[in-house]
Structure 1
Amino acid sequence: MYNDIKNNIWHVKQEINTIQKQHNKLQKKISFVAVSKNQSIDTINNVLSTGQREFGENYVQESIKKILWFKNNKKIYPKPIWHFIGHIQSNKIKLIAEYFDWCHTITNKNTAFYLNKLRKEDAAPLNILIQININQAKNKSGIYPDELVNLSEKILIYSRLKLRGLMAIPTRESDYYKQLKVFLNMNKLFKQLQNIYPSIDTLSIGMSNDMTAAIAAGGNLLRIGTAIFGNRTKNKNLKILNNGI
């Protein structure tokens, strides 16, 4: 299992580099979040040992067990950097504010208000991405593009949040040019926001099946699950090691 994951991460890095060369993006730093939902602590440890530090989690209760284990295990270094990439439930906001380093899925001012309020004063600011419903699909989360400036203004007043950029999960599409069109629209919004706030630096678009289009369109943070861990099935026996909870 370890060798498979190690090889998969190597291939992901090689593929990113190849795509960057093809699209003249080598001067741009592109990183990825290993989407570790339903993965065990042992598996995350294997990924961590390859040098990959960024992990994305969808389910708060599952992820807190992992986060606490790594926090309490002093022998594990460097520590993972945790990204919350799932739907935000109001009753989970306190946990997201307390335990995560990033939150990718901000869609309204109330969530931002409570994340800021519940973030500990002595913690680093929580890195925030605004989720865009770039297809404007009724079954998708995210704000519409014309709401972006208003929401970004609201977020930027909060000292315990740090607005880093935008994120989208477009309607799944297998055609490269259709993928590219959507991602270019995201990049246009990203640049508009950068023109207002030069500190904006993160465009989180692209997953295992559309990373080529995402990189070509200017994305610089990918969310990679299948290409690292294989086809995902619900692991009913998720192995959480002793963590005292």
Structure 2
Amino acid sequence: MSDICPRIEAVRIRIRRAALAAGRDPRGIALLAVGKTFPAEAIRAAHGCGQRVFGENYVDELVAKAATLADLDIEWHFIGQLQSNKTRKIAAVADWVHGIDRLSVAERLDRQRPTDRPPLQVCLQVNISGETSKAGVAPEALPALAHAVSALPRLRLRGLMALPAPSDDPRVQHAGFAAVRILRDALADDGLALDTLSMGMSGDLDAAVAEGATLVRVGTAVFGARKPRLPSP
């Protein structure tokens, strides 16, 4: 794991260059290191490199790693698809949830958030490319969901999360991320003070930063190629 620090620094340099090229302040963009399938020791190593914000795609992985690494000051983000029967675990452990696309899930998180913890920070996932294989609220249904979630007292709606259809064409990448930003701006004009755009990964973070990303979710460029996930016992 000796290569994690150079990897993190390379990603930070990439974010900084993309931000400056777009006329943005790099300090307004956070690196969310995604540890999916990697052991807790890899998270600890990345923490030793100064990384403090980590994301997980699987509920049980996040819960286990949070317990193992409880001695570290880590901000935990859940970025996967959240099933209703696992909301209680996430409500108790996570600091952020990125993938909300149903009011029923938001309401469960709101009811189950422990009262001794601050409000759960949340982003709504938008299916910006209309892909049937991906989760996310349709753009036309977003305003109603956003206003309903913003009214829940134990949640704090921060912004939008999206996974545009993958493309190697920078123009296509920019168009997808720009569409998410436009949706966020429309919600702001409608009275919702949203400050977060969770978008961009290892292969397209440059375009995401150019179009306003404030959180980029990077796994492979930080931890290396992922190993297959073993099935749950």
Coarse TM-score class (shorter-chain normalised): over 0.9
Alpha-carbon distance, 1:160 to partner: 0.5
TM-score (norm 2): 0.95
**Counterpart position of 1:197:** 191
Counterpart selection for 1:147 from 141, 157, 162: 141
1:108-187 equivalences under 5 Å are 108-187=102-181
Q: Distance in 1 between matches of 2:27 and 2:180?
A: 17
Alpha-carbon distance, 1:19 to partner: 1.0
**Counterpart position of 2:82:** 88
Q: Distance in 2 between matches of 1:185 and 1:28?
A: 23
Counterpart selection for 2:225 from 228, 231, 235: 231
Q: Is the 8 A contact 2:38 2:226 kept in 1?
A: no
* Counterpart code for 1:113: E
**Counterpart position of 1:17:** 16
What secondary structure sits across from 1:16 in the alignment? helix
Q: Distance in 2 between matches of 1:55 and 1:12?
A: 14
Q: Distance in 2 between matches of 1:29 and 1:198?
A: 19
* Counterpart code for 1:107: D
Q: 28-37 or 121-130: which moved more? A: 28-37
Q: Is the 8 A contact 1:94 1:118 kept in 2?
A: yes
What secondary structure sits across from 1:155 in the alignment? helix
Q: Distance in 1 between matches of 2:46 and 2:95?
A: 18
Deviations 1:64-118 (A, max 9, x none): 11111222x3xx3xx1110000011111111011110000000011001100000
* Deviation >4 Å, runs of 4+: none
What secondary structure sits across from 1:17 in the alignment? helix
Alpha-carbon distance, 1:235 to partner: 5.7
Q: Distance in 2 between matches of 1:223 and 1:232?
A: 15
Q: Is the 8 A contact 1:208 1:227 kept in 2?
A: yes
Q: Distance in 2 between matches of 1:6 and 1:118?
A: 37
Q: Distance in 2 between matches of 1:232 and 1:197?
A: 41
Q: Distance in 2 between matches of 1:196 and 1:56?
A: 30
* Counterpart code for 1:47: A
* Counterpart code for 1:194: A
RMSD of Structure 2 on Structure 1 (CA): 1.5
Alpha-carbon distance, 1:27 to partner: 6.4
What secondary structure sits across from 1:87 in the alignment? coil
Alpha-carbon distance, 1:24 to partner: 1.1
Structure 1 residue ranges without an equivalent (≥5): 237-245
**Counterpart position of 2:205:** 211
Q: Distance in 1 between matches of 2:61 and 2:11?
A: 26
**Counterpart position of 2:33:** 34
* Counterpart code for 2:107: F
Q: Is the 8 A contact 2:20 2:26 kept in 1?
A: no
Q: Distance in 1 between matches of 2:65 and 2:174?
A: 35
Alpha-carbon distance, 1:124 to partner: 0.5
Identity of aligned residues (%): 37
* Counterpart code for 1:91: N
